[in-house]
């Protein structure tokens, strides 16, 4: 309907050009919008106001010219000029119900558009360090990423979902060392656990596994472990960072490369498996789990650094290797290889993003926590230096949820082991409510997450409002048989002209807007628009439901109503599927 009106108006603009009212090279973006006020018809265009100046006419005079050029069309009941020069279109009520047949025919496909035109997207999200279970802070990125992937896919993009596993680097060494220390405790050794080690309970569980596997074979006396290490911060003149670094070195030396790798792989695999399962139960899946270590070990990082070196984009200073990111607008140059010979996380990321494009993707989307926003310019700089197009990368930043518990802000720290896990949240509020809660808000919006409210009063979550609408429709359809009627969709579709109440027209209008909404939401990377749309659609259904009895004696009218609510049911399903929420038949 909307596209049809746009087409008509584009033709009118062409005619205006031929008549010389507009210059032949005049650029025009025809805009047709649904109206907010029914008094303004169904659709309105501001075309006359936009073109008034170039045409050298008063907006209302130009509007009159445009209206005169409009062709006769059966679906357009009336055209009016209004206000400063709006042109309002009144669409024939019966034409509005055509969408019902489309929906029932296309089913789960209804709403698909092609703004993606088959372009391939690599969508990277979550990518939390595998140093512990996911907490509620990761939940938002997970819910957003998964919903966006569904949305883009629905909008015609070819989406690949990827989790970047940061399994290289110092944090992983701290983790492996923490595990071994807990293992030593199980062997009977006693000592003070490093203040900068990972203290979460999950480490104990893995340590027990290790002990079951290897008995005491990996045990070393404590005095050897802590021999000559820098004191911890709890001691006079100590430092937690230097302390843990020394303990790592001792751990590696005492265990040897082979056994250290055993410990390392055990904790990595255990945590990664847990994360994968956790996300899976949250309805968040991935096509690839991409290992940073594999990038390192296969020489891809070295190759990338070499490439930069050859083109003179890196230089040595103070024993470290620096990338000239300032050449590309970054605030300062960045270290890629430290003076101790270790490559930085940034070095891997240069190689990783280069690798992504080498795999043939047209568009790269990274979803990061907003605290990483300062990181964007250097990655783009690196992409440019590597000879690739930095505009291929879109970084979407997700604000952290600020947790409130008992009216106070709850602090979260993986290291200290004090956090609410995503799993706990799912157990207490349910996957549907959690998914909806996260995706309800625009990603860059700060979000207050009241744990008490989410847990205790979960019925207030609007997700139930939408699901209830769906269940209600299912219930009504079930009632047909109880009342001795059989559903006849064909008859319903043939009698749509019997639908004429404001509720019915309103529902049909909303349903018709769904594909357009998908296109807009996908273009803006905003799955929250789907959530708001569904709330509106559900409201339309509930109001309709309360206004009159659906199941009436007249066969044609009854079946027409069934067709309409079945269309609503279908669109609710399609929309809920995108945001990863179930559409239950009963509640």
**Least gap, CB of 282 to RNA (angstroms):** 20
| 413 strand-pairing partners | 418
Using rule CB under 7 A, residue 329 touches RNA = no
Task: State which residue, 164 or 180, has the beta carbon closest to RNA.
Answer: 164
Site for RNA in 505-524 (CB under 7 A): 520, 524
> What are the backbone angles phi and psi of residue 281, rounded to the nearest 5°?
-70, -20
| Binding piece for RNA, criterion CB under 7 A, among 5-13, 61-69, 251-259, 329-337 | 329-337
Give the other-Cβ count within 10 Å of 478's Cβ: 11
The verdict on 198 binding RNA (CB under 7 A) reads no
CB of 409 to RNA, least distance (A): 10
CA 313, CA 327: separation in Å to the nearest integer?
9
Query: 405: closest CA among 460, 456, 459, 458?
Result: 456
State the number of binding residues for RNA (CB under 7 A): 92
Cα 137 from Cα 277, distance rounded (Å): 17
Rank residues 125 and 183 by Cβ distance to RNA and give the closer one: 125
What token pair was written down for 469? Answer: 């609408």
Of all helices (H) and strands (E), which one includes residue 575?
helix 555-578
Burial grade of 149 (CB within 10 A; 0-12, 13-18, 19 or more): buried
Identify residues 32-71 at the interface with RNA (CB under 7 A). Answer: 33-37, 39-41, 44, 46, 49-50, 52-53, 59
Alpha carbon distance 565, 183 (integer Å)? 60
Q: Minimal CA–CA distance to 133: which of 86, 192, 200?
A: 200
Binding positions for RNA, 128-167, rule CB under 7 A: 129, 166
- Residue 310 lies near RNA (rule: CB under 7 A): no
**405 is a contact residue toward RNA (CB under 7 A):** no
Binding mask 3-22 for RNA (x = CB under 7 A): --------------------
List alpha helices for 288-375, DSSP H.
292-297, 300-310, 345-358
- Which residue lies nearer to RNA by CB, 186 or 335? 335
* The pairing of beta strand 334-337 with beta strand 320-323: antiparallel
> What size, in residues, is the chain?
587
Nearest approach, Cβ of residue 14 and RNA (Å): 19
Q: Kindly tell me which residue out of 235, 297, 501, 543 binds RNA, with binding defined by CB under 7 A.
A: 543
Kindly state the smallest distance separating residue 373's Cβ from RNA, in Å: 5
Binding span for RNA by CB under 7 A among 79-87, 118-126, 296-304, 494-502: 79-87
Q: Could you say which residues in the range 365-394 bind RNA, by CB under 7 A?
A: 370-375
| Residue located via tokens 């079951």 | 212
Q: 547 to 566, contacts with RNA by CB under 7 A?
A: 547-551
- CA 530, 533, 536 angle in degrees (round to 5)? 155
Query: Strands 120-124, 158-165: parallel, antiparallel or unpaired by DSSP?
Result: parallel
303 binding RNA? (CB under 7 A): no
Minimum Å gap between C-beta 236 and RNA is 23
Q: Where are the alpha helices (DSSP H) in 88-169?
A: 98-106, 136-154
Judged by CB under 7 A, which stretch of 60-68, 112-120, 364-372, 416-424 contacts RNA? 364-372
Binding test (CB under 7 A) with RNA, winner from 261, 460, 497, 554: 460
Regarding 456 and contact with RNA (CB under 7 A), the answer is: no
Interaction of residue 529 with RNA, rule CB under 7 A: yes
Nearest to 244 by CA among 189, 180, 194, 171: 194
* Shortest distance (Å) from residue 40 CB to RNA: 4
Contact residue for RNA among 265, 297, 479, 500 (CB under 7 A): 479
Return the residue of 107, 170, 269, 405 that touches RNA, per CB under 7 A: 170
Backbone angles phi, psi at 352, to 5 degrees: -60, -50
218 vs 381, beta carbon nearer RNA: 381
Mind giving me the DSSP string for 230-271?
PPPTTSTT--HHHHHHHHHHHHHHHHHHHHHHHHHHHHHHHH
- 430 touches RNA (CB under 7 A): no
- Is residue 327 part of the contact set for RNA (CB under 7 A)? no
Residue 455 interacting with RNA (CB under 7 A): no
> Using CB under 7 A, which of the segments 132-140, 270-278, 353-361, 464-472 binds RNA?
464-472
Please identify which residue in 472, 492, 522, 527 interacts with RNA, judged by CB under 7 A.
472
| Residue selected from 120, 158, 169, 410 as contacting RNA according to rule CB under 7 A | 169
Query: Packing angle between helix 528-547 and helix 514-523, nearest 10 degrees?
Result: 160
Q: Residue 317 interacts with RNA (CB under 7 A)?
A: yes
What region does 505 belong to: left with phi over 0, alpha with psi -120 to 50, or beta? Answer: alpha
Choose one: 153-161, 257-265, 467-475, 490-498; the region binding RNA (CB under 7 A). 467-475
Complex with RNA: residue 184 or 382, whichever CB lies closer: 382
Residues 35, 37, 40, 42, Cα dihedral to 10°? 40
- Between 258 and 459, name the residue whose CB sits nearer to RNA: 459
* Whole-angstrom distance, CA of residue 222 vs CA of residue 184: 8
């Amino acid at each position: 309907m909307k596209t049809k009106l746009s087409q008509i108006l584009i033709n009118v603009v062409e005619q205006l050009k031929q008549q010389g009212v507009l210059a032949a090279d005049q650029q025009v973006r025809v805009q047709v919008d649904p109206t907010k006020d029914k008094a303004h018809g169904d659709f309105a265009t501001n075309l006359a106001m936009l073109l008034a100046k170039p045409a050298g006419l008063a907006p209302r005079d130009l509007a009159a010219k445009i209206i005169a050029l409009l062709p006769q069309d059966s679906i357009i009941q009336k055209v009016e000029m209004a206000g400063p020069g709006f042109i309002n279109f009144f669409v024939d009520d019966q034409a509005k119900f055509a969408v019902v047949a489309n929906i029932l025919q296309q089913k789960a496909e209804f709403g698909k558009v092609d703004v993606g035109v088959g372009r391939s997207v690599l969508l990277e999200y979550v990518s939390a360090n595998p140093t512990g279970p996911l907490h509620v802070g990761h939940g938002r990125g997970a819910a957003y990423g998964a919903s966006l992937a569904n949305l883009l896919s629905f909008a015609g993009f070819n989406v690949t979902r990827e989790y970047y596993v940061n399994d290289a680097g110092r944090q992983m060494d701290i983790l492996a060392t923490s595990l071994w220390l807990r293992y030593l405790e199980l062997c009977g050794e006693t000592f003070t656990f490093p203040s900068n080690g990972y203290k979460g309970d999950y480490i104990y569980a893995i340590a027990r596994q290790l002990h079951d596997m290897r008995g005491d074979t990996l045990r070393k006396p404590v005095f050897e472990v802590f021999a000559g290490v820098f004191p911890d911060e709890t001691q006079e003149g100590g430092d937690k960072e230097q302390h843990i670094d020394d303990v790592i070195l001792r751990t590696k030396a005492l265990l040897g490369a082979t056994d250290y790798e055993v410990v390392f792989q055990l904790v990595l695999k255990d945590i990664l498996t847990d994360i994968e399962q956790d996300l899976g139960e949250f309805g968040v899946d991935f096509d690839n789990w991409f290992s940073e270590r594999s990038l390192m070990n296969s020489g891809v990082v070295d190759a990338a650094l070499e490439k930069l070196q050859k083109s003179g984009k890196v230089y040595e200073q103070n024993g470290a290797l620096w990338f000239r990111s300032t050449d590309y607008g970054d605030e300062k140059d960045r270290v890629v290889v430290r003076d101790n010979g270790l490559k930085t996380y940034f070095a891997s990321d240069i190689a990783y993003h280069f690798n992504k494009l080498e795999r043939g993707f047209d568009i790269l989307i990274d979803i990061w926590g907003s605290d990483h926003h300062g990181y964007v310019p250097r990655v783009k700089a690196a992409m440019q230096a590597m000879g690739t197009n930095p505009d291929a990368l879109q970084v979407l930043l997700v604000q952290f949820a600020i947790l409130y518990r008992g009216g106070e802000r709850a602090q979260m720290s993986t290291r200290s082991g004090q956090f609410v896990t995503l799993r706990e949240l799912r157990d207490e509020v349910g996957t549907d409510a959690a998914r909806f809660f996260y995706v309800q808000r625009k990603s860059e919006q700060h979000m207050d997450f009241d744990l008490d409210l989410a847990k205790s009063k979960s019925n207030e979550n609007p997700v139930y409002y939408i699901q209830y609408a769906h269940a209600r429709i299912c219930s009504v359809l079930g009632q047909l048989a109880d009342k001795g009627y059989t559903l006849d969709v064909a008859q319903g579709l043939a009698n749509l002209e019997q639908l004429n109440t404001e509720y019915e027209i309103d529902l049909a209008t909303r349903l018709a807007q769904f594909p357009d909404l998908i296109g807009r939401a996908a273009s803006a990377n905003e799955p929250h628009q789907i959530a708001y749309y569904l709330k509106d659609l559900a409201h339309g259904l509930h109001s309709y439901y309360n206004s009159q009895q659906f199941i009436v004696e007249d066969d044609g009218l009854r079946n027409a109503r069934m067709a309409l609510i079945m269309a609503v049911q279908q669109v609710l399903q399609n929309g809920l599927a995108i945001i990863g929420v179930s559409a239950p038949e009963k509640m």
